[in-house]
Structure 1
């Protein structure tokens, strides 16, 4: 029996799922928590060694008989992180993550060096936004010069786990397009942007080769033995968590729209051609399946609802009751949920704002609703840019931890005015990685099935979790969203100053 495994290394935890393609069922799953180191300067870092420890812990929790039948696996990883590695493969410093806003000044410096944001988009299809990998290099040069001097290879989190699994250094187009250096139109590195990042060093020498979407690598024998998987197991290229979630939700053909409600919120759609906005209203990423993945990312999603629940001493599992006890619009209470700074809208130094407090809405339930609504409105703000560009969608496929909330699913349907569907496999990124491994393994054996064929066969929807827009609530949310936009317009000059 051939099984495939998907590994999802996120901000809060590392998860592993093992999938039996013949039986179309997840046969095992494990999860291990990860710690996040936060600084008042906006820094957000993790130790790559913790990812490796979590990986081993997860595999140790799986039945040995299941591990022994894993034929292929792939990694999904949080995007944009920077893992500096020396020539011997040693990690030189903690990994700065996607949600790290301490390097926002370096973003501006890089773009100014090539002529500004518009020129940057001409060169790569994207501006260098806060959190992107490029900005972390000059920061490291200034603040960790010893590590920078010994830097041999620039790896993203998912690249580093692939290195641990295979002993080889490589990247892939989807995750690489989130560095800020890849010209997504031509799928080649922009030498001009690399020079702008560090004019005194050839950073191209530090970039690993880019592997194709169906590439397979052998697993390192010692690692295979430690994980309890066959020495003949193969490692597919994997990708960024959003790229893998696109596979796990079936968002691999045009017209599909997927939304992930995790620590960050993302909204993405597949395209056969590059979809670049000259104003940089969305991320013009490549997919990990040979196409492109225009994407909206917010830096504050479930992290906001979790913070509110923690502040008032209840669990997010009880959050739906608070939503049911309050009306759409939270009685006029508005939250701009920018606790980690924000990417959409582009406010890297943004802070959370509560507005509209009065004697009726100053309750834990109203604040929890305002947090959930605010996180959703930030995604709607990005979605509006998609619509203005002429993109059309007939449904939203929802994944991530927030999709477990019936009230949040209904809120999304009502705010966006679209039906919401949820895959049977809730761990979209980990499941997507498993499906990519299945696809690549099949191709290596002569199976001509496309990635769309694979997702059509294996991505099933859970009918009981679907939601349909309610016209009355949609109207109420439309008014509340307008109020959110007014407050956003008012605070933007202050938070950009």
Structure 2
């Protein structure tokens, strides 16, 4: 079958997306599997057994929608949550439970490395986790044979190759050109007491368009236990969700950017020039082609909003007028349009986990109002939607102070499916036009399917040209301009939001 399969392991869903390899804008079928992280022993984690349960279930769901099981595929790509820490011994055994991007226990290591390199090393980066384990003299460190990301782990099991796309690799260790920064590697080897040079523990770095292995017999059995799928499909380099989100929104060229909203929320802006200063709110990663990107990453996105929507869905059911989840979102989002521009004085904090940009070591979701605020359903829903973008807006204002040029900002994620609501509020938060493509809700699974098709096409490494000429020629989109009242209202909301972070800190200390 001349099709490309994209698999993305997101925070709440594992998604599979099948596209025509010659026309990746044509989605043939999708499948998904819901999963959730766990807080075990103070560590946010996923059981790796669930990776394979979920991957097989998502693929089987796709096959059911397609109506026939493919015997062969032209190309496959794997994407997953960026960063985090997966350490294996020489036998390929996991040494400690997967530590996801959501953990904020690496502050000492991140601060030391930021000082050592002179660039911001965020708490969630793989090197921060490894160095914290080294600083804490964790027993497993002496047994480490390899460190990788979730996408790299899945890719290696399916192909036998220990490689990583440059975008995902840039969340493990700083990149210079098309590989890990050699000077920084040398500095780290002088600092840390490891049993081997750091680079030997890291995956090989590849850029978009380079073949990254083929589906093996064992890999085919892992993906499709029925035995129908044959080995041989070419793989693109495994990428992080940030990189595939950039592909899914056609935002890989300088002066373009995108926002990805899910369990976390982050903005990516492709840079024309290096940042002038080091900011803890900004980290520099790359596109799947290796171009530098300023990233504003927030650990908390739409999960708290989803919890409130779930409560209203249950109310509708209890009242005898049940609504499915999509209809509930649609009703509540449209209600938010009738809210006051500043959300009537209400504040919603979505911090289920710690949030470095906001200075929060732990999460305490709060809904706050003053006696003179106006508590209505419209204002409450607008406050919750604003709250999804609150911490992101703090970071984006730092980026604006760097005078970074931006011609176009795109957005993707499930919360943009209700047309003109979240998109409108994001435009207000950024004070910039926001574009949402018709394919936006497919997200990174479609993005990595496109990357797989790009590799199979043999088009070289000019990803921006491939997206422009082969993928986004017919894909429709809609753009919303920031409204004057909305911008003023969100600005007032953000001023209160910033001041109210003291309440969040008090809640962390007291609760």
> Which stretch shifts more, 469-478 or 237-246?
469-478
Distance 1:144 1:423, change over 3 A: farther
Which residue does the alignment assign to 1:320?
Answer: 333
Verify: 1:454 aligned to 2:466, yes or no.
yes
Q: Distance in 2 between matches of 1:338 and 1:54?
A: 27
1:28, CA displacement in angstroms? Answer: 0.9
Contact 2:254–2:271 (8 Å) recurs in 1: yes
Which residue does the alignment assign to 2:319?
Answer: none
Alpha-carbon RMSD = 3.0
Q: Of 75, 80, 83, which aligns to 1:80?
A: 83
Verify: 1:279 aligned to 2:279, yes or no.
yes
Which residue does the alignment assign to 1:417?
Answer: 431
Which residue does the alignment assign to 1:337?
Answer: 350
**Structure 1 gaps, min length 5:** none
The C-alpha deviation readout for 1:117-154, integer Å capped at 9, x for no partner, is 3x2442xx322x22222333356569995644433211
> Which stretch shifts more, 70-79 or 149-158?
149-158
Verify: 1:150 aligned to 2:143, yes or no.
yes
1:351, CA displacement in angstroms? Answer: 3.4
1:239, CA displacement in angstroms? Answer: 0.8
1:454, CA displacement in angstroms? Answer: 1.8
Distance 1:245 1:66, change over 3 A: farther
1:236, CA displacement in angstroms? Answer: 0.9
Verify: 1:430 aligned to 2:423, yes or no.
no
Q: Distance in 2 between matches of 1:460 and 1:333?
A: 43
Contact 2:354–2:363 (8 Å) recurs in 1: yes
Q: Distance in 1 between matches of 2:426 and 2:476?
A: 16
Q: Distance in 2 between matches of 1:231 and 1:200?
A: 38
Q: Distance in 2 between matches of 1:465 and 1:84?
A: 43
Q: Distance in 2 between matches of 1:461 and 1:398?
A: 18
The C-alpha deviation readout for 1:36-90, integer Å capped at 9, x for no partner, is 111473x210012211221122222314756335201111110112222222223
Verify: 1:68 aligned to 2:71, yes or no.
yes
Q: Distance in 2 between matches of 1:196 and 1:126?
A: 19
Distance 1:461 1:37, change over 3 A: farther
Distance 1:454 1:143, change over 3 A: same
Which residue does the alignment assign to 2:207?
Answer: 212
Verify: 1:92 aligned to 2:95, yes or no.
yes
Q: Distance in 2 between matches of 1:422 and 1:47?
A: 34
**Structure 2 gaps, min length 5:** 316-324
The C-alpha deviation readout for 1:184-229, integer Å capped at 9, x for no partner, is 4673253356448842433523222223332211211222255243
How does the TM-score come out when normalised to structure 1?
0.87
Which residue does the alignment assign to 1:249?
Answer: 249
The C-alpha deviation readout for 1:429-475, integer Å capped at 9, x for no partner, is 112111111222222xxx35721122113136865754232222222
Distance 1:336 1:90, change over 3 A: same
Contact 1:79–1:241 (8 Å) recurs in 2: yes
Q: Distance in 1 between matches of 2:391 and 2:135?
A: 33
> Which stretch shifts more, 53-62 or 189-198?
189-198
Q: Of 395, 400, 406, which aligns to 1:387?
A: 400
SS in structure 1 of the partner of residue 437 of structure 2: coil
Contact 1:110–1:193 (8 Å) recurs in 2: no
Contact 1:194–1:202 (8 Å) recurs in 2: no
Q: Of 487, 497, 500, which aligns to 1:484?
A: 497
Q: Which residues of 2 match residues 31-46 of structure 1 at below 5 A?
A: 31-39=32-40, 41=42, 43-46=43-46
Q: Distance in 1 between matches of 2:509 and 2:239?
A: 32
SS in structure 1 of the partner of residue 493 of structure 2: helix
Q: Distance in 1 between matches of 2:185 and 2:166?
A: 16
Q: Distance in 2 between matches of 1:14 and 1:288?
A: 21
Distance 1:433 1:36, change over 3 A: same
1:377, CA displacement in angstroms? Answer: 2.4
Which residue does the alignment assign to 1:221?
Answer: 217
Verify: 1:187 aligned to 2:184, yes or no.
no
Which residue does the alignment assign to 2:456?
Answer: 441
Give aligned pairs, total: 482
The C-alpha deviation readout for 1:152-188, integer Å capped at 9, x for no partner, is 2111100001011101212232112212x33446732
SS in structure 1 of the partner of residue 79 of structure 2: strand
Which residue does the alignment assign to 1:265?
Answer: 265
Q: Distance in 1 between matches of 2:370 and 2:473?
A: 43
Q: Distance in 2 between matches of 1:40 and 1:448?
A: 46
> Which stretch shifts more, 208-217 or 456-465?
456-465
How does the TM-score come out when normalised to structure 2?
0.85
Contact 2:109–2:129 (8 Å) recurs in 1: no
